[in-house]
Chains A and B, each alone.
Chain A
């Protein structure tokens, strides 16, 4: 098994990057091993836990199930590239205040899913928040304070 590397061009957090990555690598592998983008976490590598969730062309996807080759020419966005995003900043602040961050391993994925929800539905019900976050497993919080944070952020943003 020789490691064959392939060169891909994509937009990462607003910047054009060229990256040499193992042929057939997942986006999660490329981000972490080749680009040292570490906010996307490997919690399961099976698409279940949501800790690796990133945006491709603005849509949340599992980095662990996405091939880097498929991202050729597309825009990938991770938590590292969220500076200046008002919705994300508000969500982050509410998460800090509500206690929705415990070990933090799920947090990046949770926030990316939550931001996607608020873009689609700025005033979600608590049920809608729980549904939108149901693909992000959190083993620490019991979800209550996370839902509080997302609802709090939604309320603040919609004022």
Chain B
């Protein structure tokens, strides 16, 4: 290391300080190891043969030529995996295509060979005998009376909620509150529209990959790029029929996730290959395969109607969504259910009705992606709020303020709102964005607000005090680059009053880490942070007991001091964690370990208030809030939109590490900007037409505004660790709504279809009258 001015990087950072991420140094030096960087003795390389058909029955395989190809050690197909099926909500997916293929790009066979080139070459020599079937390429087609059926045995699949599956209908959800049908009569203004949103690719810069190894006793060790070692373990074991105790799941550094590494990708295939080859196998997807085989954000068709009184008070909203699922359910029922929960936005709307249908199609599975269904419905909802404001002569801030949900209110169908800094978010954006641009020209301003939950499901933490008084923290939460290791260490250090650099964070390991559902749904800081704080508190309590014995006094007389010391009130003498831990390890009581597990258990649905059918998340979480303002430019020649300046204010309860919150807001906004303006996966018939970074474009440094102002609003949540709530998704959600509102301001045209490409915006400029089709 030759940093010419070596500066201590981890000095005494605790809660509220922007300490550098613990993994930054190895990453800037190029030393961080990602899945593709791992090698094992005798390791083979895997490659996948993808289906050329959208829907076909597999009649048989001819592997003879491929088996003879140079370097080939093992080949697997659907014949090598049992009947097991995996899936987060509906267990509908085999480890690899078995009996049928359901989309172009679906893995049909996989080869392990000495080199990646040999494995890829051998894949091309595999012959598969297909009987082509008619394909379903849109949800509308899927619901048609005579539609070909993707999952003939859907009725028999295991489902974890009341999905209402039928034919190609994967699931349906219906929520209602108040009496919408009667309420329209009370409305002075009503706006209505039908909106569509496009599929977006995650494009984590690291493509998905896995490395599996089988030991002499047949137990599997699996490293993979993932957002949850535990979901990987569950999925692989379910699909391959392995007892979970027979598989250990680990993670190296992960080159970001955004949702596409949460549920399985190629881990089950890699394990099956390693088991067959009896050698370690590493399988790394190409970028094209990553586009074609993993998952993407759902395209939505949203019908929305909103009504208000003449003073701007919202009265009713109805929202109906038709969601394309792709070939497998994956997280889709959750995404759709969540989007319906969120479709009212953070407003008091007494009469609400939301319903959705999720339909299987012969395409890549759609699944979780930062925002989880929220951006799609918000694109419609936040435009309608502006339209109502326009009709009533209320500016975007006023119409929103008039209707905000407050602390203590209940969200649609029931969850109680705790802390809520949305009003302050709006103030921050309004204050900063008011007036004209620096050069005096007027702004093309657009606003949108959003809420998002953090919570969801089980989590745990183990805090161990080492013999010298420093700490090992183990949570099982995968840090996918956003810095959760750092934030959790900060929470732990704060509770123990230790310098931040005395907390080491263990890498997730299903053999040794407590359960963690996953790094997803903006949940780690909030949920895992709670567990960490509680576990650390237990270690403090144990240390206090030791100190009381050493100092021969009552625990009540003791205080925890900075730097890992415990002493009596009003006295200078104290004992150090090292003394206490030494005593505990060698003499009395046993090593200090605090552990805590919890599951977010507040019910989502209040049956006294609302009707809910097919709700996939019975318990969700606490609410974070955000307001986003953008000022856009529209190019006269091309219609292309660029964001000149953006203001993103988020109530995250308490920013454990403000810099990391800011980067979440920056990164989320820019991913939302790409989604709003040009990112779109395009299918040419059944085949993805742009599965490469050459054809699928994401924003570069030149395509984003330099001025992305962030405002961290802190309204501490009583249940959050030091008040913290989630920050991971809230920065993206509002982007399409805010940008669409700004484009309407700039061009006079409202847009109902994402993305807002130059082509669409130009068409709107030339004919601003109509809602663009």
Contacts and interface: CB of A to CB of B under 8 A. Distances in A.
Contacts of B701: 129-131, 133-134, 136, 138, 143, 146-147
B3 A104 contact: no
A154 B28 CA distance: 17
A99 B258 CA distance: 18
A139 B34 contact: no
A83 interface: yes
A75 to B, nearest CB: 18
B310 interface: no
B2 A89 contact: yes
Given A43-B206, A106-B205, A135-B700, A1 B693 contact: no
B118 interface: yes
Interface in A83-137: 83-86, 89-93, 95-99, 101-108, 111, 126-127, 129-131, 133-137
B91 to A, nearest CB: 30
A100 to B, nearest CB: 8
B700 A104 contact: no
B508 to A, nearest CB: 16
B698 interface: yes
B700 A79 contact: no
B572 interface: no
Interface in A41-93: 41-46, 48-49, 51, 78-80, 83-86, 89-93
B657 to A, nearest CB: 9
B4 A102 contact: no
Contact of B24 (A51, A101, A130, A131): A101
A96 B5 CA distance: 13
Given A38-B33, A39-B30, A130-B702, A44 B692 contact: yes
Nearest to B660: A99
- Select the residue from B202, B206, B258, B669 with max chain A CB neighbours within 10 A: B206
A33 interface: yes
B254 interface: yes
A27 to B, nearest CB: 15
Interface string A6-37: 00000000000000001000000000110010
Contacts of B706: 126-127, 130, 144, 147
A23 B698 CA distance: 34
Nearest to A108: B30
Contacts of B117: 1, 3, 22
A103 B663 CA distance: 12
Contact of B482 (A33, A48, A102, A136): A102
Nearest to B39: A36
A44 B287 contact: yes
A144 B36 contact: no
Contacts of A22: 115, 117
B480 A96 contact: no
Contact of A3 (B28, B118, B202, B694): B118
A111 B28 contact: yes
Contacts of B71: 3
Contacts of B115: 3, 22, 33
B694 A142 contact: no
A139 B286 contact: no
A134 B24 contact: no
Given A101-B27, A104-B27, A144-B708, A138 B666 contact: no
B662 A99 contact: yes
B327 interface: no
Interface in B6-23: 7, 9, 18, 20-21, 23
Contacts of A133: 700-701
A84 B286 CA distance: 34
Nearest to A98: B659
A83 B28 CA distance: 12
B481 interface: yes
Interface residues of B, number: 72
Category for how many chain A residues contact B: 35 or more
Contacts of B39: 36
Contacts of A136: 701
B34 A41 contact: yes
A137 B287 contact: no
A43 B206 CA distance: 6
Contacts of B34: 41, 105
B28 to A, nearest CB: 4
A104 B663 contact: no
- Select the residue from A33, A41, A129, A146 with max chain B CB neighbours within 10 A: A41
A84 B2 contact: yes
A31 to B, nearest CB: 11
A92 B255 contact: no
A141 B660 CA distance: 10
A108 B5 CA distance: 20
A44 B693 contact: yes
B693 A101 contact: no
Contact of A48 (B70, B255, B694): B694
Given A130-B702, A140-B256, A46 B693 contact: yes
Nearest to B257: A103
Nearest to A22: B117
Contact of B253 (A51, A78, A104, A137): A104
A29 B71 CA distance: 18
Interface in B442-472: none
Nearest to B205: A105
Given A1-B118, A145-B663, A105 B256 contact: yes
Contacts of A90: 4
Contacts of B32: 104
Contact of B667 (A83, A98, A107, A142): A142
B377 interface: no
A13 to B, nearest CB: 11
Given A103-B254, A130-B701, 8 more contacts: A38-B37, A93-B3, A102-B256, A104-B24, A104-B255, A134-B701, A137-B698, A141-B667
7 contacts: A3-B115, A41-B205, A79-B29, A84-B2, A103-B256, A103-B481, A140-B667
Interface of B: 1-5, 7, 9, 18, 20-21, 23-34, 36-37, 39, 69-71, 114-118, 121, 202-207, 253-256, 258, 284, 286-287, 480-483, 659-660, 662-663, 666-671, 692-694, 698, 700-702, 704, 706, 708
Which 6 pairs of residues, A with B, have the shortest CB-CB distance?
A: A103-B481, A39-B30, A104-B27, A105-B255, A79-B30, A142-B666
